[in-house]
Chains A and B, each alone.
Chain A
Amino acid sequence: MVAKRLSLGRLLSGERLTLIFFLVYFLFSMLLVGKFSNPVNLTNILVQSADLIILSCGMTFVFMNGGIDFSVTAILGLESVLGARVMTLVGDPLLSVFSGVAFMLFIGLAIGCINGLTVTMLKMPSFIATMATQLIFSGLALWYTQSATIGGLPRPFSYIGRGRLIGVPMPIVITLAVVLATAFILHRTVLGRYIFAVGTNHRTARISGIPIKRTIFKLFLFSGGLSALSGVIMTSRSGAGMPAMGKTMLMDIVGAVVIGGTSVTGGSGSIFGTAIGAVLIIVLNNSLNLLGVDWFVINALKGAMIVLVALLGVLRDAGRR
Chain B
Amino acid sequence: MNEPVLELKRISKSFSGVEVLKDISVALRGEGSILGLVGENGAGKSTMMNILGGVLQRDRGEILLGGAPYNPRSAMDADEAGIAFIHQELNLFSNMTIAENLFLSDAPGSKWGVLSYRAMNAAARRAMQYVGIDISPSTLVDTLPMGMRQMVEIAKALSRKARIIVFDEPTTSLCTEEKEQLFTIIRDFSAKGISMIYISHALDDVLALCGEVAVLRDGSIIGQLPAEKATKADIVSMMVGRKLDQLFPYVPKHPGEVLLRVDSLCGQKAFRDISFSLRAGEIVGLFGLMGAGRSELANAIYGIDRIESGRIFLLGESVRNPAPEWWIGKGVAYITENRREEGLLMPKTVKENLVLANLRALGGNLGAIDAPREEKDSAAIIDRLSIKTFDKSRQSAQSLSGGNQQKVVIGKWLLTNPRVFLADEPTRGVDVGAKFEIYSHLNALAEDGSAILFISSEMEELIGVCDRILVMSNGSLAGELDRERFDQKELLNLAISRCY
A209 touches B325 (CB 8 A): yes
Contact of B345 with A by CB under 8 A: yes
A189 touches B341 (CB 8 A): no
A201 touches B341 (CB 8 A): yes
Chain A, interface residues (CB within 8 Å), range: 20 to 34
Contact of B218 with A by CB under 8 A: no
Give min CB distance, B441 to chain A, whole Å.
19
Which of A6, A184, A197 meets B368, CB within 8 Å? A184
B334-357: CB near A (< 8 Å → 1, else 0) gives: 101000011111111000100111
Give min CB distance, B197 to chain A, whole Å.
33
Contact of A164 with B by CB under 8 A: no
Give min CB distance, B295 to chain A, whole Å.
12
Contacts A190-B359, A203-B342, A204-B343 given: A2-B369 contact, CB under 8 Å? no
B348 touches A200 (CB 8 A): yes
A189 touches B363 (CB 8 A): yes
**Cβ–Cβ < 8 Å partners of B369 in chain A:** 188-190, 192-193
Q: Which of A166-211 contact B (CB under 8 A)?
A: 184-185, 188-194, 196-197, 200-201, 203-211
B359 touches A207 (CB 8 A): no
B345 touches A190 (CB 8 A): no
Contacts A2-B390, A207-B324, A207-B334 given: A201-B345 contact, CB under 8 Å? yes
Which of A190, A197, A209, A320 meets B324, CB within 8 Å? A209
**Cβ–Cβ < 8 Å partners of B325 in chain A:** 209-211
Q: How many A-B Cβ pairs are below 8 Å?
A: 87
Q: Which of A203-255 contact B (CB under 8 A)?
A: 203-211
A320 touches B347 (CB 8 A): yes
A188 touches B357 (CB 8 A): no
Alpha-carbon distance A210/B352, docked complex (angstroms):
14
Contact of B366 with A by CB under 8 A: yes
**Cβ–Cβ < 8 Å partners of A318 in chain B:** none
Residue in chain A with minimal CB distance to B334: A207
**Cβ–Cβ < 8 Å partners of A203 in chain B:** 341-342
Contacts A188-B369, A201-B345 given: A207-B363 contact, CB under 8 Å? no
**14 more A-B residue pairs beyond the given contacts A2-B395, A189-B366, A197-B345, with a C-beta to C-beta distance below 8 A:** A2-B390, A6-B395, A188-B369, A190-B363, A191-B367, A192-B369, A197-B356, A200-B346, A200-B347, A203-B342, A205-B345, A206-B324, A207-B302, A209-B327
B contact set with A: CB distance below 8 Å: 302, 304, 324-325, 327-329, 334, 336, 341-348, 352, 355-357, 359-360, 362-363, 366-369, 390, 394-396, 398-399, 412
A contact set with B: CB distance below 8 Å: 2-3, 6, 184-185, 188-194, 196-197, 200-201, 203-211, 267-268, 320-321
18 intermolecular pairs with C-beta atoms under 8 Å apart: A2-B390, A184-B366, A184-B368, A190-B359, A190-B369, A193-B352, A193-B359, A200-B346, A201-B341, A204-B344, A207-B304, A207-B324, A208-B328, A209-B327, A209-B329, A267-B345, A267-B347, A268-B347
